Amino acid sequence: MKDEILEVKKTNAILAYKNADATGKSMLADLLGKKNLYTDIKERIETFEDALEIDGECDSDTLLVINYSGKNPNMVSAQAYMKLVIIIRVLNEGWVPDWTNENQSKYFPWFKHKSGFGLACDDYAYWHTHTIVGSRLCFKTSELAEYAGKQFADIYNDFLTIK
């Protein structure tokens, strides 16, 4: 018998997982991968590699910069920026900020610099702007901004700190 591909809608897989007993959940997780069965994006994206795997929009030039291993300190910030763009794109799940809409909230992680420690995520910040040019590094919810600021503090530190 020829191996055939079976397609399952993600919403159906998640529903089956939610309704399954422990044995069924284990089987579905083994077949489909547990991260595919999470409904909260924060549960699926814990590392940059997780975001990269889900993103699907990263081209070879971007990967070349991200994987650059030379000693140029300017590249550390560039690599971190590119990583954050991918992480934020995935965490926002297709949401794109509308900088012409002053009523749409946009959120950013907020950091306090602690001497000798780098950056520490303290909270999130609400940002309101009247310009049509804004940051690509914003989130659709304060929860996502806070999560990213804490989960990816090392990448934010590389992006925001001159070395």
Q: Model's pTM, two decimal places?
A: 0.72
In contact, 78 and 65? CB cutoff 8 Å? yes
Q: Are 154 and 76 in contact (CB under 8 A)?
A: no
Per-residue confidence (pLDDT) for residue 124, from 0 to 100: 52
Render pLDDT for 49-108 as a digit per residue (tens, 0 to 9): 999 988 878 788 888 888 888 888 788 999 999 999 999 999 999 899 998 898 999 999
- The CA distance from 111 to 123, in Å, is 7
Q: How far from chain centre, in Å, is Cα 71?
A: 26
